[in-house]
Structure 1
Amino acid sequence: MATNLAIDDQLLVLAQNIGGIKTKKDTVNQALKEFVQRRKQKDIIDLFGEIKYDEDYDYKELRKRN
């Protein structure tokens, strides 16, 4: 999909150099992938303390062989 964007050229070149990426297109795609990955990680971290665990759950009991 072709898209025209007004991107800060200095920032793009800096990201390209830091990432060791050859093209601007690859730099933008990598940045978008990292952005999405970090947001997903944040969503998972936000769940800490929210999930209720069964206090009677005994994983060691489940390891026993009959």
Structure 2
Amino acid sequence: MEDFAAGVRRRVSDARAAHRLALESGDFYAARVHAADLEEMVRLAEDHGIIVEPGGEG
């Protein structure tokens, strides 16, 4: 289970970074795509009792 939790946290962190980079580059379509991925990963974490820091790095 710990490998799963680590993977989810890593995907949350990656999605946050990708979202931030898309916003910084002005690619608002990509930002929306990454925001949706981030929301999905945070929801998955919550469903499995995995704690991720809000707005943090995972």
TM-score strictly above 0.5: no
Q: Which has the higher helix share?
A: 2
TM-score by length of 1: 0.36
Larger relative contact order (CA 8 Å, sep ≥ 6): 2
TM-score by length of 2: 0.41
Query: Which structure has the bigger radius of gyration?
Result: 1
